[in-house]
Amino acid sequence: MRTPFTTRISSRGQVVIPGPVRKALALEPGTTFLVIARKDTIVLHRLQEPPWQFFDDMVKQARKQGRQHDAAMQGFARVVKKVKYGR
């Protein structure tokens, strides 16, 4: 969308995003934004919930690391036992 639009800030600090922009970006009431301000520029970046696959992958990775940690600790325990008891 290349058409520029203007808007104003209300006395309550609210800014209306023009209808064509809302429609083009499929923005609905309750959409959450990150607000970044730098000098005389304000950027609104829509925050989106990560897909569930992202969380599933994180859980898989954590479980894998947990198994690796457990295996390493068991190997460490065997070495300590050999050193301690000479077995």
pLDDT digits (tens, 9 = 90+) for 36-79: 999 999 999 998 877 788 788 888 999 989 888 888 888 888 88
The answer to whether 18 and 7 are in contact (CB under 8 A) is yes
pLDDT at 75: 82
Same domain, 25 and 40: yes
**pLDDT greater than 80 at residue 86:** no
Q: 40: domain CATH number?
A: 2.10.260.10
> What DSSP string describes 29-77?
TT--EEEEEETTEEEEEE--PPPHHHHHHHHHHHHHHHHHHHHHHHHHH
The answer to whether 77 and 66 are in contact (CB under 8 A) is no
pLDDT at 36: 95
* pTM score, whole prediction: 0.51
Higher pLDDT among residues 33 and 73, named by residue: 33
As for how many domains the chain has, the answer is 2
Domain encompassing residue 35: 1-48
pLDDT at 23: 94
